[in-house]
Chains A and B, each alone.
Chain A
Amino acid sequence: MRVLEANRLGETLELNWPLVADFLTRFIREELAWRGYEKALVAVSGGVDSATTLALAVRALGADRVHALFLPHRDSSPLSREHAYLVAETFGVALEEVDITPMVEGYAALTPDLTPHRKGNVMARARMIVLFDKSQAYRALPLGTGNKTERLFGYYTWHGDDSPPVNPLGDLYKTQVWRLAEHLGVPEPVVKKPPTADLVPGQTDEADLGVRYLRADVILEHYLKGYPDGYLLGLGFTEEEIRRVKEGVNRTHWKRALPTVALLSSTGIGEFYLRPLDYRP
Protein backbone atom coordinates (compact mmCIF):
# COMPACT_ATOMS: atom_id res chain seq x y z
CA MET A 1 0.00 0.00 0.00
CA ARG A 2 1.23 3.47 -0.82
CA VAL A 3 1.97 5.71 2.13
CA LEU A 4 1.30 9.36 1.46
CA GLU A 5 2.50 12.04 3.79
CA ALA A 6 0.41 15.21 4.00
CA ASN A 7 1.97 18.64 3.69
CA ARG A 8 2.21 20.50 6.94
CA LEU A 9 -0.18 23.45 6.94
CA GLY A 10 0.97 26.74 8.35
CA GLU A 11 0.92 30.48 7.95
CA THR A 12 2.32 31.85 4.73
CA LEU A 13 3.28 35.34 3.68
CA GLU A 14 3.29 34.43 0.00
CA LEU A 15 0.22 35.96 -1.69
CA ASN A 16 -1.42 35.96 -5.09
CA TRP A 17 0.39 39.09 -6.28
CA PRO A 18 -1.70 39.82 -9.39
CA LEU A 19 -4.83 39.64 -7.23
CA VAL A 20 -3.23 41.87 -4.57
CA ALA A 21 -2.14 44.40 -7.20
CA ASP A 22 -5.65 44.47 -8.67
CA PHE A 23 -7.18 44.95 -5.21
CA LEU A 24 -4.80 47.76 -4.28
CA THR A 25 -5.30 49.65 -7.54
CA ARG A 26 -9.06 49.54 -6.98
CA PHE A 27 -8.45 50.67 -3.41
CA ILE A 28 -6.50 53.73 -4.59
CA ARG A 29 -9.14 54.66 -7.16
CA GLU A 30 -12.09 54.32 -4.81
CA GLU A 31 -10.51 55.93 -1.76
CA LEU A 32 -9.53 58.92 -3.88
CA ALA A 33 -12.90 59.12 -5.62
CA TRP A 34 -15.13 59.55 -2.58
CA ARG A 35 -12.73 62.14 -1.18
CA GLY A 36 -13.18 64.08 -4.42
CA TYR A 37 -9.64 63.54 -5.77
CA GLU A 38 -8.58 62.41 -9.23
CA LYS A 39 -4.85 62.67 -8.70
CA ALA A 40 -2.35 61.21 -6.25
CA LEU A 41 0.97 62.43 -4.93
CA VAL A 42 3.81 60.13 -3.90
CA ALA A 43 7.06 61.12 -2.22
CA VAL A 44 9.63 58.86 -3.85
CA SER A 45 12.71 58.17 -1.73
CA GLY A 46 14.54 55.72 -3.93
CA GLY A 47 13.39 52.87 -1.69
CA VAL A 48 11.15 49.93 -2.45
CA ASP A 49 8.05 51.05 -0.49
CA SER A 50 7.61 54.36 -2.30
CA ALA A 51 8.54 52.74 -5.63
CA THR A 52 5.82 50.13 -5.14
CA THR A 53 3.31 52.79 -4.10
CA LEU A 54 4.15 54.81 -7.21
CA ALA A 55 3.73 51.73 -9.41
CA LEU A 56 0.29 51.05 -7.91
CA ALA A 57 -0.76 54.69 -8.25
CA VAL A 58 0.21 54.73 -11.93
CA ARG A 59 -1.72 51.50 -12.49
CA ALA A 60 -4.74 52.93 -10.71
CA LEU A 61 -4.85 56.41 -12.17
CA GLY A 62 -2.49 56.60 -15.15
CA ALA A 63 0.92 58.31 -15.12
CA ASP A 64 -0.58 61.70 -15.98
CA ARG A 65 -2.58 61.72 -12.76
CA VAL A 66 0.31 60.93 -10.45
CA HIS A 67 2.76 63.50 -9.13
CA ALA A 68 6.08 62.22 -7.81
CA LEU A 69 8.25 64.24 -5.46
CA PHE A 70 11.88 63.67 -4.54
CA LEU A 71 12.76 65.47 -1.31
CA PRO A 72 16.48 65.07 -0.62
CA HIS A 73 18.62 66.63 2.07
CA ARG A 74 22.28 67.31 1.32
CA ASP A 75 23.21 64.35 3.59
CA SER A 76 20.94 61.96 1.64
CA SER A 77 22.78 59.15 -0.11
CA PRO A 78 23.56 59.72 -3.83
CA LEU A 79 22.18 56.22 -4.42
CA SER A 80 18.76 57.39 -3.19
CA ARG A 81 18.72 60.09 -5.88
CA GLU A 82 19.82 57.65 -8.57
CA HIS A 83 17.11 55.18 -7.59
CA ALA A 84 14.39 57.80 -7.23
CA TYR A 85 15.00 58.92 -10.82
CA LEU A 86 15.21 55.32 -12.01
CA VAL A 87 11.84 54.53 -10.41
CA ALA A 88 10.13 57.65 -11.80
CA GLU A 89 11.47 56.90 -15.26
CA THR A 90 10.40 53.25 -15.04
CA PHE A 91 6.80 54.21 -14.32
CA GLY A 92 6.71 57.18 -16.70
CA VAL A 93 6.25 59.92 -14.11
CA ALA A 94 8.16 63.21 -14.01
CA LEU A 95 10.02 63.68 -10.75
CA GLU A 96 9.84 67.06 -9.06
CA GLU A 97 12.77 67.67 -6.75
CA VAL A 98 12.50 69.91 -3.70
CA ASP A 99 15.66 70.22 -1.64
CA ILE A 100 14.72 70.21 2.06
CA THR A 101 18.24 71.21 3.15
CA PRO A 102 17.38 74.92 3.71
CA MET A 103 14.29 74.02 5.77
CA VAL A 104 16.17 71.53 7.93
CA GLU A 105 19.41 73.49 8.22
CA GLY A 106 17.48 76.70 9.03
CA TYR A 107 16.17 74.99 12.14
CA ALA A 108 19.47 73.19 12.80
CA ALA A 109 21.31 76.53 12.85
CA LEU A 110 19.01 77.65 15.66
CA THR A 111 19.43 74.38 17.54
CA PRO A 112 23.07 73.69 18.37
CA ASP A 113 22.33 70.54 20.37
CA LEU A 114 20.39 68.86 17.52
CA THR A 115 21.47 65.21 17.52
CA PRO A 116 21.62 63.19 14.27
CA HIS A 117 18.58 61.21 15.43
CA ARG A 118 16.53 64.35 16.09
CA LYS A 119 17.70 65.86 12.83
CA GLY A 120 16.48 62.74 11.02
CA ASN A 121 13.02 63.30 12.50
CA VAL A 122 13.14 66.97 11.45
CA MET A 123 13.89 65.79 7.90
CA ALA A 124 10.89 63.44 7.90
CA ARG A 125 8.65 66.25 9.18
CA ALA A 126 10.03 68.73 6.65
CA ARG A 127 9.12 66.23 3.93
CA MET A 128 5.62 65.99 5.39
CA ILE A 129 5.25 69.79 5.16
CA VAL A 130 6.28 69.81 1.50
CA LEU A 131 4.09 66.82 0.68
CA PHE A 132 0.94 68.39 2.10
CA ASP A 133 1.65 71.76 0.54
CA LYS A 134 2.16 70.22 -2.89
CA SER A 135 -1.00 68.21 -2.30
CA GLN A 136 -2.95 71.44 -2.02
CA ALA A 137 -1.13 73.03 -4.95
CA TYR A 138 -1.87 70.10 -7.30
CA ARG A 139 -5.17 68.92 -5.74
CA ALA A 140 -3.54 65.53 -5.49
CA LEU A 141 -4.02 63.26 -2.49
CA PRO A 142 -0.78 62.16 -0.75
CA LEU A 143 -0.36 58.39 -0.63
CA GLY A 144 1.37 56.85 2.35
CA THR A 145 4.16 54.36 1.76
CA GLY A 146 4.59 52.77 5.20
CA ASN A 147 4.56 48.96 5.33
CA LYS A 148 3.10 46.77 8.07
CA THR A 149 6.44 45.80 9.56
CA GLU A 150 7.58 49.35 10.16
CA ARG A 151 4.12 50.33 11.35
CA LEU A 152 4.18 47.49 13.89
CA PHE A 153 7.66 48.42 15.11
CA GLY A 154 6.82 52.12 15.20
CA TYR A 155 9.86 52.51 12.95
CA TYR A 156 8.91 55.85 11.45
CA THR A 157 8.68 59.49 12.47
CA TRP A 158 5.42 60.24 14.25
CA HIS A 159 3.36 62.77 12.24
CA GLY A 160 6.04 62.49 9.55
CA ASP A 161 6.02 59.57 7.14
CA ASP A 162 2.88 58.10 8.76
CA SER A 163 0.72 61.15 7.99
CA PRO A 164 -0.81 60.61 4.49
CA PRO A 165 -4.51 59.75 4.67
CA VAL A 166 -4.48 56.77 2.28
CA ASN A 167 -1.94 53.98 2.46
CA PRO A 168 -2.07 51.00 0.10
CA LEU A 169 0.86 49.05 1.63
CA GLY A 170 0.04 49.38 5.32
CA ASP A 171 -1.21 45.78 5.67
CA LEU A 172 1.74 44.20 3.83
CA TYR A 173 4.92 43.17 5.62
CA LYS A 174 8.21 44.38 4.21
CA THR A 175 8.99 40.99 2.70
CA GLN A 176 5.58 41.04 1.01
CA VAL A 177 6.29 44.51 -0.38
CA TRP A 178 9.46 43.08 -1.93
CA ARG A 179 7.45 40.38 -3.68
CA LEU A 180 4.75 42.79 -4.83
CA ALA A 181 7.47 45.17 -6.08
CA GLU A 182 8.92 42.38 -8.22
CA HIS A 183 5.50 41.64 -9.64
CA LEU A 184 4.93 45.31 -10.49
CA GLY A 185 8.28 45.69 -12.22
CA VAL A 186 10.08 47.87 -9.69
CA PRO A 187 13.73 47.92 -10.87
CA GLU A 188 15.81 45.14 -9.33
CA PRO A 189 18.50 47.37 -7.73
CA VAL A 190 15.72 49.10 -5.76
CA VAL A 191 14.17 45.83 -4.61
CA LYS A 192 17.45 44.11 -3.76
CA LYS A 193 19.30 46.84 -1.86
CA PRO A 194 19.34 46.85 1.95
CA PRO A 195 16.41 48.97 3.16
CA THR A 196 17.31 52.28 4.81
CA ALA A 197 15.45 55.30 6.16
CA ASP A 198 18.46 57.32 4.88
CA LEU A 199 18.09 59.84 7.68
CA VAL A 200 21.60 59.28 9.02
CA PRO A 201 24.53 58.36 6.70
CA GLY A 202 25.22 54.61 6.63
CA GLN A 203 21.95 53.71 8.39
CA THR A 204 20.10 50.46 7.57
CA ASP A 205 16.70 49.33 8.85
CA GLU A 206 17.84 45.88 9.86
CA ALA A 207 20.74 47.24 11.93
CA ASP A 208 18.35 49.69 13.63
CA LEU A 209 15.77 47.00 14.33
CA GLY A 210 18.27 44.31 15.30
CA VAL A 211 16.45 41.60 13.35
CA ARG A 212 16.22 40.60 9.70
CA TYR A 213 12.96 41.43 7.93
CA LEU A 214 12.72 37.89 6.57
CA ARG A 215 12.62 36.58 10.12
CA ALA A 216 10.80 39.46 11.82
CA ASP A 217 7.84 39.22 9.44
CA VAL A 218 7.25 35.54 10.10
CA ILE A 219 7.46 36.13 13.85
CA LEU A 220 5.07 39.10 13.58
CA GLU A 221 2.51 37.15 11.58
CA HIS A 222 2.46 34.34 14.16
CA TYR A 223 2.50 36.69 17.13
CA LEU A 224 -0.40 38.76 15.78
CA LYS A 225 -2.40 35.59 15.16
CA GLY A 226 -1.88 34.46 18.73
CA TYR A 227 0.63 31.62 18.38
CA PRO A 228 2.60 31.06 21.61
CA ASP A 229 6.36 31.59 21.77
CA GLY A 230 6.90 27.83 21.96
CA TYR A 231 5.46 27.44 18.49
CA LEU A 232 7.88 30.03 17.11
CA LEU A 233 10.80 28.32 18.87
CA GLY A 234 9.69 25.15 17.11
CA LEU A 235 9.96 26.98 13.79
CA GLY A 236 13.59 27.78 14.54
CA PHE A 237 13.41 31.34 15.84
CA THR A 238 15.53 32.30 18.84
CA GLU A 239 14.21 33.62 22.14
CA GLU A 240 16.14 36.82 21.52
CA GLU A 241 14.49 37.39 18.11
CA ILE A 242 11.03 36.72 19.51
CA ARG A 243 11.63 39.05 22.46
CA ARG A 244 12.93 41.83 20.24
CA VAL A 245 9.97 41.63 17.86
CA LYS A 246 7.34 41.56 20.62
CA GLU A 247 9.04 44.45 22.38
CA GLY A 248 9.05 46.48 19.16
CA VAL A 249 5.30 46.03 18.83
CA ASN A 250 4.39 46.56 22.47
CA ARG A 251 6.45 49.68 23.02
CA THR A 252 4.71 51.54 20.19
CA HIS A 253 0.94 51.02 20.40
CA TRP A 254 0.59 54.72 21.22
CA LYS A 255 2.22 55.60 17.92
CA ARG A 256 -0.52 53.87 15.92
CA ALA A 257 -3.33 55.73 17.66
CA LEU A 258 -4.85 59.17 17.70
CA PRO A 259 -3.83 61.48 20.58
CA THR A 260 -5.14 60.52 24.02
CA VAL A 261 -8.11 62.60 25.13
CA ALA A 262 -9.37 62.81 28.71
CA LEU A 263 -12.84 61.26 28.67
CA LEU A 264 -15.46 63.20 30.62
CA SER A 265 -18.77 62.60 28.87
CA SER A 266 -20.80 59.84 27.30
CA THR A 267 -20.24 61.38 23.86
CA GLY A 268 -16.45 61.17 23.77
CA ILE A 269 -15.24 61.15 20.16
CA GLY A 270 -13.95 57.75 19.12
CA GLU A 271 -14.95 56.21 22.46
CA PHE A 272 -18.73 56.67 22.64
CA TYR A 273 -19.35 58.65 19.48
CA LEU A 274 -18.24 56.24 16.76
CA ARG A 275 -18.52 56.92 13.04
CA PRO A 276 -16.36 55.41 10.29
CA LEU A 277 -14.13 57.88 8.49
CA ASP A 278 -16.07 57.53 5.24
CA TYR A 279 -19.41 58.30 6.92
CA ARG A 280 -20.87 61.36 5.18
CA PRO A 281 -24.69 61.34 5.18
Chain B
Amino acid sequence: MVRHAILQFRPEKSRLRESLERLRAVLEALRPHAPQVVVLPETALTGYFLQGGVRELALTRFELLELLEEAYRKAGFGEPLDVVVGFYERDGGAYYNSAAYLELPHRILHVHRKVFLPTYGVFDEERYLARGSRVEAFATRFGRAAILICEDFWHSVTATIAALDGAEVIYVPAASPARGFQGARPENVERWRTLARAVAAEHGVYVVLASLVGFEAGKGMSGGSLVVGPEGRIQAEAPLFEEAVLLADLDWERIPPVRYDSPLLSDLEAALPLLLPDLERVLRKEGR
Protein backbone atom coordinates (compact mmCIF):
# COMPACT_ATOMS: atom_id res chain seq x y z
CA MET B 1 0.00 0.00 0.00
CA VAL B 2 1.31 3.41 -0.90
CA ARG B 3 -0.36 6.34 0.77
CA HIS B 4 -1.14 9.09 -1.75
CA ALA B 5 -2.34 12.60 -1.05
CA ILE B 6 -3.86 14.31 -4.08
CA LEU B 7 -3.81 18.06 -3.53
CA GLN B 8 -6.60 19.81 -5.36
CA PHE B 9 -4.77 23.09 -5.04
CA ARG B 10 -5.64 26.73 -5.74
CA PRO B 11 -2.44 28.66 -6.40
CA GLU B 12 -1.98 32.33 -5.68
CA LYS B 13 -2.12 33.42 -9.30
CA SER B 14 1.30 34.33 -10.69
CA ARG B 15 2.79 34.45 -7.19
CA LEU B 16 5.28 31.65 -6.79
CA ARG B 17 6.44 32.49 -3.27
CA GLU B 18 2.92 32.81 -1.87
CA SER B 19 1.84 29.58 -3.53
CA LEU B 20 4.84 27.79 -2.06
CA GLU B 21 4.02 29.14 1.38
CA ARG B 22 0.46 27.82 1.07
CA LEU B 23 1.81 24.49 -0.15
CA ARG B 24 4.12 24.33 2.86
CA ALA B 25 1.14 24.90 5.18
CA VAL B 26 -0.83 22.11 3.46
CA LEU B 27 2.11 19.72 3.65
CA GLU B 28 2.54 20.47 7.33
CA ALA B 29 -1.15 19.79 7.97
CA LEU B 30 -0.81 16.49 6.05
CA ARG B 31 2.15 15.17 8.03
CA PRO B 32 0.01 13.25 10.57
CA HIS B 33 -1.55 11.37 7.61
CA ALA B 34 1.91 10.19 6.59
CA PRO B 35 1.61 10.55 2.81
CA GLN B 36 4.30 8.86 0.75
CA VAL B 37 3.36 10.48 -2.56
CA VAL B 38 1.84 13.94 -2.93
CA VAL B 39 0.30 14.75 -6.31
CA LEU B 40 -0.28 18.34 -7.38
CA PRO B 41 -2.08 19.74 -10.46
CA GLU B 42 -0.72 21.23 -13.66
CA THR B 43 0.96 24.65 -13.22
CA ALA B 44 0.26 24.23 -9.51
CA LEU B 45 2.50 27.00 -8.24
CA THR B 46 1.61 29.83 -10.65
CA GLY B 47 -1.84 29.21 -12.08
CA TYR B 48 -2.44 28.16 -15.66
CA PHE B 49 -3.28 31.23 -17.78
CA LEU B 50 -0.11 33.35 -17.76
CA GLN B 51 0.21 34.27 -21.44
CA GLY B 52 3.64 35.89 -21.86
CA GLY B 53 4.13 35.77 -18.10
CA VAL B 54 5.36 32.19 -18.60
CA ARG B 55 8.72 33.68 -19.50
CA GLU B 56 8.91 35.49 -16.17
CA LEU B 57 7.71 32.67 -13.92
CA ALA B 58 9.13 29.51 -15.48
CA LEU B 59 11.68 27.55 -13.42
CA THR B 60 14.44 25.15 -14.31
CA ARG B 61 13.85 21.70 -12.89
CA PHE B 62 16.70 22.31 -10.46
CA GLU B 63 15.16 25.55 -9.19
CA LEU B 64 11.89 23.65 -8.74
CA LEU B 65 13.63 20.95 -6.71
CA GLU B 66 15.28 23.56 -4.53
CA LEU B 67 11.99 25.40 -3.84
CA LEU B 68 10.10 22.22 -3.03
CA GLU B 69 12.88 20.91 -0.87
CA GLU B 70 12.63 24.12 1.13
CA ALA B 71 8.85 23.73 1.53
CA TYR B 72 9.32 20.08 2.53
CA ARG B 73 11.90 20.94 5.18
CA LYS B 74 9.87 23.85 6.56
CA ALA B 75 6.83 21.54 6.75
CA GLY B 76 8.89 19.36 9.09
CA PHE B 77 9.24 16.20 6.97
CA GLY B 78 12.20 14.00 7.86
CA GLU B 79 11.33 10.87 5.89
CA PRO B 80 11.47 10.87 2.08
CA LEU B 81 8.43 12.25 0.27
CA ASP B 82 7.65 11.81 -3.41
CA VAL B 83 5.97 14.75 -5.12
CA VAL B 84 4.40 15.00 -8.56
CA VAL B 85 4.01 18.65 -9.51
CA GLY B 86 3.11 20.57 -12.64
CA PHE B 87 5.18 23.67 -13.44
CA TYR B 88 6.24 25.94 -16.27
CA GLU B 89 9.75 24.79 -17.12
CA ARG B 90 12.58 26.88 -18.52
CA ASP B 91 15.40 25.12 -20.31
CA GLY B 92 17.79 27.42 -22.10
CA GLY B 93 15.63 29.57 -24.32
CA ALA B 94 12.71 27.15 -24.43
CA TYR B 95 9.66 26.92 -22.20
CA TYR B 96 7.56 23.86 -21.50
CA ASN B 97 4.42 22.89 -19.66
CA SER B 98 6.04 20.19 -17.53
CA ALA B 99 5.46 17.99 -14.52
CA ALA B 100 8.22 16.59 -12.36
CA TYR B 101 8.37 13.49 -10.19
CA LEU B 102 10.62 14.44 -7.27
CA GLU B 103 11.84 12.21 -4.50
CA LEU B 104 12.34 14.80 -1.77
CA PRO B 105 14.62 15.91 -0.40
CA HIS B 106 17.20 15.23 -3.13
CA ARG B 107 16.22 13.63 -6.43
CA ILE B 108 14.51 14.50 -9.66
CA LEU B 109 13.33 11.13 -10.92
CA HIS B 110 11.56 12.24 -14.05
CA VAL B 111 10.27 15.31 -15.89
CA HIS B 112 7.48 14.94 -18.43
CA ARG B 113 6.99 17.74 -20.95
CA LYS B 114 3.42 18.09 -22.23
CA VAL B 115 3.16 16.85 -25.79
CA PHE B 116 -0.38 17.92 -26.65
CA LEU B 117 -0.53 21.69 -26.16
CA PRO B 118 -4.15 22.84 -26.50
CA THR B 119 -4.28 25.86 -28.77
CA TYR B 120 -7.96 26.25 -29.53
CA GLY B 121 -10.99 27.76 -27.84
CA VAL B 122 -9.96 29.26 -24.52
CA PHE B 123 -6.47 27.73 -24.78
CA ASP B 124 -3.35 29.26 -26.31
CA GLU B 125 -0.44 27.11 -25.12
CA GLU B 126 1.53 26.69 -28.29
CA ARG B 127 1.90 30.43 -28.63
CA TYR B 128 4.04 30.48 -25.50
CA LEU B 129 5.38 26.96 -25.09
CA ALA B 130 7.40 24.31 -26.86
CA ARG B 131 6.08 20.80 -27.26
CA GLY B 132 7.51 17.82 -25.47
CA SER B 133 8.07 14.72 -27.57
CA ARG B 134 8.35 11.82 -25.15
CA VAL B 135 6.03 9.54 -23.22
CA GLU B 136 8.00 7.26 -20.92
CA ALA B 137 7.40 5.23 -17.80
CA PHE B 138 9.97 5.43 -15.03
CA ALA B 139 10.81 3.54 -11.86
CA THR B 140 9.91 5.02 -8.47
CA ARG B 141 10.66 3.46 -5.11
CA PHE B 142 7.14 2.00 -5.20
CA GLY B 143 6.77 0.77 -8.76
CA ARG B 144 6.64 1.99 -12.34
CA ALA B 145 4.84 5.22 -13.09
CA ALA B 146 4.21 7.66 -15.93
CA ILE B 147 3.07 11.27 -16.08
CA LEU B 148 0.70 12.71 -18.66
CA ILE B 149 -0.40 16.34 -18.47
CA CYS B 150 -4.01 17.33 -19.13
CA GLU B 151 -4.68 17.06 -22.90
CA ASP B 152 -1.96 14.42 -23.16
CA PHE B 153 -4.43 12.18 -21.37
CA TRP B 154 -7.32 13.05 -23.70
CA HIS B 155 -5.52 11.08 -26.43
CA SER B 156 -5.73 7.40 -25.64
CA VAL B 157 -2.47 6.67 -27.45
CA THR B 158 -0.36 8.32 -24.72
CA ALA B 159 -1.71 6.15 -21.92
CA THR B 160 -1.29 3.16 -24.24
CA ILE B 161 2.41 3.94 -24.62
CA ALA B 162 2.78 4.49 -20.87
CA ALA B 163 1.09 1.19 -20.07
CA LEU B 164 3.16 -0.71 -22.63
CA ASP B 165 6.24 0.85 -21.05
CA GLY B 166 5.25 -0.79 -17.79
CA ALA B 167 3.46 2.00 -15.95
CA GLU B 168 1.32 0.75 -13.10
CA VAL B 169 0.12 4.17 -12.16
CA ILE B 170 -0.43 7.18 -14.43
CA TYR B 171 -0.26 10.56 -12.72
CA VAL B 172 -2.25 13.24 -14.51
CA PRO B 173 -1.74 16.83 -13.37
CA ALA B 174 -4.47 18.92 -15.04
CA ALA B 175 -5.94 22.40 -15.26
CA SER B 176 -9.40 22.20 -16.76
CA PRO B 177 -11.67 25.25 -17.02
CA ALA B 178 -15.28 24.26 -16.37
CA ARG B 179 -17.47 24.50 -19.46
CA GLY B 180 -20.74 22.98 -20.65
CA PHE B 181 -23.23 23.32 -17.79
CA GLN B 182 -26.12 21.28 -19.20
CA GLY B 183 -25.69 18.12 -17.14
CA ALA B 184 -25.18 17.03 -13.55
CA ARG B 185 -21.51 18.00 -13.82
CA PRO B 186 -19.69 20.30 -16.26
CA GLU B 187 -18.97 18.53 -19.55
CA ASN B 188 -15.21 18.60 -19.10
CA VAL B 189 -15.57 16.93 -15.69
CA GLU B 190 -17.74 14.19 -17.21
CA ARG B 191 -15.08 13.70 -19.85
CA TRP B 192 -12.35 13.32 -17.24
CA ARG B 193 -14.36 10.72 -15.34
CA THR B 194 -15.10 8.74 -18.49
CA LEU B 195 -11.50 8.87 -19.70
CA ALA B 196 -9.91 8.05 -16.36
CA ARG B 197 -12.15 5.03 -15.89
CA ALA B 198 -11.70 3.84 -19.47
CA VAL B 199 -7.90 4.14 -19.44
CA ALA B 200 -7.56 2.49 -16.02
CA ALA B 201 -9.80 -0.41 -17.06
CA GLU B 202 -8.25 -0.86 -20.50
CA HIS B 203 -4.70 -1.21 -19.23
CA GLY B 204 -5.15 -2.30 -15.60
CA VAL B 205 -3.41 0.76 -14.20
CA TYR B 206 -4.17 3.23 -11.46
CA VAL B 207 -5.05 6.70 -12.73
CA VAL B 208 -4.46 9.61 -10.39
CA LEU B 209 -5.88 12.92 -11.60
CA ALA B 210 -4.91 16.09 -9.71
CA SER B 211 -6.99 18.95 -11.04
CA LEU B 212 -6.46 22.63 -10.36
CA VAL B 213 -9.13 24.84 -8.76
CA GLY B 214 -9.67 28.59 -8.57
CA PHE B 215 -10.99 31.24 -10.93
CA GLU B 216 -8.53 32.78 -13.35
CA ALA B 217 -10.15 35.88 -14.84
CA GLY B 218 -13.56 34.23 -15.17
CA LYS B 219 -12.31 30.77 -16.10
CA GLY B 220 -13.23 28.47 -13.21
CA MET B 221 -10.82 25.55 -12.89
CA SER B 222 -13.09 22.63 -12.19
CA GLY B 223 -11.31 20.33 -9.73
CA GLY B 224 -12.98 16.93 -9.45
CA SER B 225 -9.66 15.16 -8.90
CA LEU B 226 -9.83 11.38 -9.08
CA VAL B 227 -8.20 8.16 -8.03
CA VAL B 228 -9.32 5.29 -10.25
CA GLY B 229 -8.38 1.70 -9.55
CA PRO B 230 -6.98 -0.74 -12.14
CA GLU B 231 -10.42 -2.26 -12.77
CA GLY B 232 -11.80 1.18 -13.67
CA ARG B 233 -13.66 1.96 -10.47
CA ILE B 234 -13.49 5.41 -8.88
CA GLN B 235 -11.74 4.99 -5.53
CA ALA B 236 -11.82 8.65 -4.51
CA GLU B 237 -13.22 11.82 -6.00
CA ALA B 238 -12.75 15.42 -4.90
CA PRO B 239 -15.51 18.05 -5.03
CA LEU B 240 -15.81 20.58 -7.82
CA PHE B 241 -14.32 24.10 -7.69
CA GLU B 242 -12.87 24.03 -4.17
CA GLU B 243 -9.65 23.00 -2.54
CA ALA B 244 -9.51 19.49 -1.08
CA VAL B 245 -7.04 16.72 -0.34
CA LEU B 246 -7.81 13.16 -1.36
CA LEU B 247 -6.05 10.52 0.71
CA ALA B 248 -5.89 7.17 -1.03
CA ASP B 249 -3.87 4.01 -0.55
CA LEU B 250 -2.77 2.57 -3.87
CA ASP B 251 -2.35 -1.17 -3.69
CA TRP B 252 0.12 -2.37 -6.32
CA GLU B 253 -0.71 -5.98 -5.44
CA ARG B 254 -4.18 -5.59 -6.91
CA ILE B 255 -2.81 -4.99 -10.38
CA PRO B 256 -1.78 -8.56 -11.34
CA PRO B 257 -5.14 -10.18 -10.42
CA VAL B 258 -7.04 -7.43 -12.22
CA ARG B 259 -4.87 -7.89 -15.32
CA TYR B 260 -5.31 -11.67 -15.10
CA ASP B 261 -9.09 -11.20 -15.22
CA SER B 262 -8.89 -8.74 -18.06
CA PRO B 263 -5.65 -9.35 -19.97
CA LEU B 264 -6.13 -6.54 -22.46
CA LEU B 265 -2.64 -5.14 -22.00
CA SER B 266 -0.89 -8.39 -22.88
CA ASP B 267 -3.30 -8.79 -25.77
CA LEU B 268 -2.30 -5.30 -26.93
CA GLU B 269 1.38 -6.15 -26.63
CA ALA B 270 0.84 -9.16 -28.86
CA ALA B 271 -1.41 -7.53 -31.45
CA LEU B 272 -0.09 -3.99 -31.70
CA PRO B 273 2.85 -4.95 -33.95
CA LEU B 274 0.31 -6.34 -36.42
CA LEU B 275 -1.34 -2.92 -36.61
CA LEU B 276 1.81 -0.85 -36.98
CA PRO B 277 1.87 -0.99 -40.80
CA ASP B 278 -1.65 0.41 -40.85
CA LEU B 279 -0.70 3.10 -38.37
CA GLU B 280 2.23 4.10 -40.56
CA ARG B 281 -0.01 4.01 -43.62
CA VAL B 282 -2.66 6.34 -42.14
CA LEU B 283 0.03 8.72 -40.95
CA ARG B 284 1.36 8.89 -44.53
CA LYS B 285 -2.25 9.65 -45.59
CA GLU B 286 -1.88 7.16 -48.41
CA GLY B 287 -4.98 6.58 -50.49
CA ARG B 288 -6.87 9.45 -48.87
| Interface of A toward B, CB cutoff 8 Å | 12, 14-16, 19-20, 22-23, 26-27, 30-31, 34, 273-281
Contact = CB atoms under 8 A, between A and B. Distances in A.
A278 B51 contact: no
A19 B52 contact: no
A105 to B, nearest CB: 38
B287 interface: no
Contacts of B53: 275-276, 279, 281
A165 to B, nearest CB: 11
Contacts of B217: 276-278
B57 A281 contact: yes
B120 interface: no
Contacts of A22: 241
B50 interface: yes
Interface in B182-234: 182-186, 214-218, 220
Contact of B182 (A15, A30, A274, A275): A15
A31 B183 CA distance: 25
B22 interface: no
Contact of A23 (B51, B56, B220): B220
Given A26-B215, A26-B241, A27-B218, A276 B51 contact: yes
B181 A279 contact: no
Given A16-B184, A275-B51, A276-B53, A30 B14 contact: no
Interface string B159-192: 0000000000000000000100111111000000
B15 interface: yes
B90 to A, nearest CB: 15
B215 A30 contact: yes
The interface centre, meaning the residue of A31, A273, A274, A281 with most chain B CB atoms within 10 A of its CB, is A281
A20 B181 contact: yes
B58 to A, nearest CB: 12
Interface string B6-25: 00000001111000000000
Given A16-B181, A20-B181, A23-B220, A281 B241 contact: no
B214 A30 contact: yes
Contacts of A12: 182
Contacts of B52: 273-275
A-side binding surface: helix, strand, loop or mixed? loop
Contact of B218 (A19, A31, A273): A31
Contacts of A15: 181-182
A175 to B, nearest CB: 14
A26 B215 CA distance: 8
B49 interface: yes
Given A19-B184, A26-B220, A276-B51, 12 more contacts: A19-B186, A22-B241, A26-B215, A30-B214, A31-B215, A34-B13, A275-B51, A275-B53, A278-B217, A280-B14, A281-B14, A281-B53
**Most chain-B CB neighbours within 10 Å: which of A12, A23, A274, A278?**
A278
A49 to B, nearest CB: 17
B13 A278 contact: yes
Contacts, number: 63
B215 A14 contact: no
Nearest to B214: A30
Contacts of B183: 16
B13 A279 contact: yes
Nearest to A277: B217
16 contacts: A12-B182, A19-B181, A26-B241, A27-B215, A30-B214, A31-B215, A276-B216, A276-B217, A277-B217, A278-B217, A279-B14, A279-B50, A279-B53, A280-B13, A281-B14, A281-B56
Given A15-B182, A19-B186, A274 B56 contact: no
Nearest to A171: B218
Contacts of A20: 181
Report, nearest first, the 7 A-B pairs whose CB atoms are least far apart: A274-B51, A30-B215, A15-B181, A281-B14, A278-B217, A274-B52, A279-B14
A99 to B, nearest CB: 34
Contacts of A23: 178, 181, 220, 241
A27 B220 contact: yes
Interface string B32-50: 0000000000000001011
Nearest to A24: B220
Most buried by A among B50, B53, B185, B218: B218
A276 B215 CA distance: 12
A143 B148 CA distance: 39
Given A31-B215, A281-B56, A276 B220 contact: no
Nearest to B46: A281
